[in-house]
Amino acid sequence: MKRMVLNEPGSGTLELEDGPVPEPGPGEIRVRVRACGVCRTDLHVVDAELPDPRIPIVPGHEVVGVVDALGEGVSRFQEGDRVGIPWLASACGTCPYCRSGRENLCPKAVFTGYQVDGGYAECAIARADYALPLPEQYGDTEAAPLLCAGLIGHRAYRMTGAAKRIGLYGFGAAAHIICQVAVFEEREVFAFTREGDDDAQALARSLGATWTGASTEAPPVPLDAAILFAPVGELVPIALSHVVPGGVVVCAGIHMSDIPSFPYRLLWEERVLRSVANLTRRDAEDFLAIAPRVPVKTQVTPYPLDRANEALNDLRTGHLVGAAVLIP
């Protein structure tokens, strides 16, 4: 089985290896991978911006494939079923967070492509009760970005409440999905990109954004809310300065550069600054139900599995429009 493996955190490089085909244990399924999205979280793992990954580790947590083996006791899926494997690989199910519907905060949670091998491979193992049935309307490549860019993006979007004017900072995989949901729900989207990123701005306009501009620019009207998909701490005070009293700024990434000191007046008037952490299975159910209704269309750039390093570098350097997807 071919797989791309991180052997040295911070090296920025994965190595192509041949390994044994894994066997599913009790409650697990083996998935023959058809596509795996390349997420910024993968980049944070590879670049050692997230602490203590299991080493060696196969990254990838936007996994689309077909069940080809069942572990003992699995009845939820059958061989031949198409499924998705997301970031949340498992949670304890018994802690206060799990019991209150917040398994995303479980202290014993395990994450795909971080503590257990993910989808940068020809096969992957997943717990059956955390794998996801996928909407039939999506092809394998198009479905992959829904499994993190879509799921985490939608969780962040819900944190904006009833906001009508929403700023999206960083118009990549997640933002191009959530823009479509927001427009579908008759909200106005203001898309902020790197300066001079004409391709991302053109994509945002094509998806219904009301306005596009650089992250350093002021929108033409005050925003009710903003979501930061770009992992740039300097954008936090900028976004706060553009939201109305009572507005919310949501930091959607798992990692962000340090937030600089800013005057209290930017937070005053009951503005809210909050983060989003991981996802729950309920998040997945909700988003995968709404995505076909919009319908969300993902813009993807496919790469062969052995070009995973190229895909990661294109993401790292901002040379992607939409989402990268690896094809074993």
pLDDT single digits (tens) 229-273: 999 999 999 999 999 999 999 999 999 999 999 999 999 999 999
Secondary structure element (H or E) that encloses residue 37, with its range = strand 28-38
248: CATH: 3.40.50.720
Give the other-Cβ count within 10 Å of 206's Cβ. 11
Q: Tell which of 237, 253, 275 closes a domain.
A: 275
Residue 145 vs residues 161, 271, 326: alpha-carbon distances, Å: 24, 31, 11
Do 268 and 294 fall into the same domain?
no
pTM: 0.95
Q: Tell which of 237, 257, 275 closes a domain.
A: 275
Q: Which domain holds residue 176?
A: 151-275
Q: Quick one: pLDDT at residue 321?
A: 87
Do 286 and 269 fall into the same domain?
no
Q: Quick one: pLDDT at residue 228?
A: 98
Do 35 and 181 fall into the same domain?
no
Q: Tell which of 251, 275, 299 closes a domain.
A: 275
Do 250 and 302 fall into the same domain?
no
Please tell me the distance from the alpha carbon of residue 162 to that of residue 10, in angstroms, as a whole number: 40
Measured in degrees and rounded to the nearest 5, phi and psi for residue 87 equal: -60, -45
Please tell me the distance from the alpha carbon of residue 94 to that of residue 106, in angstroms, as a whole number: 9
Do 38 and 132 fall into the same domain?
yes
Secondary structure element (H or E) that encloses residue 251, with its range = strand 243-251
User: What's the total number of domains in the chain?
Assistant: 2
Do 260 and 320 fall into the same domain?
no
Do 230 and 287 fall into the same domain?
no
CA end-to-end span of the chain, whole Å? 10
Do 105 and 125 fall into the same domain?
yes
CB-based contact 147:64 (threshold 8 Å): yes
Do 12 and 117 fall into the same domain?
yes
Q: Quick one: pLDDT at residue 122?
A: 98
Do 295 and 246 fall into the same domain?
no
Secondary structure element (H or E) that encloses residue 97, with its range = helix 96-99
Do 82 and 194 fall into the same domain?
no
110: CATH: 3.90.180.10
> Which of 264, 218, 272 lies closest to 245 in space, CA to CA?
272
Instruction: Express the helix, strand and coil content of the chain in percent, nearest 5 each.
Output: 25, 30, 45
Do 34 and 92 fall into the same domain?
yes
Q: What residue ranges of the chain have pLDDT lower than 70?
A: none
Structure-token match 């990109």, residue found: 193
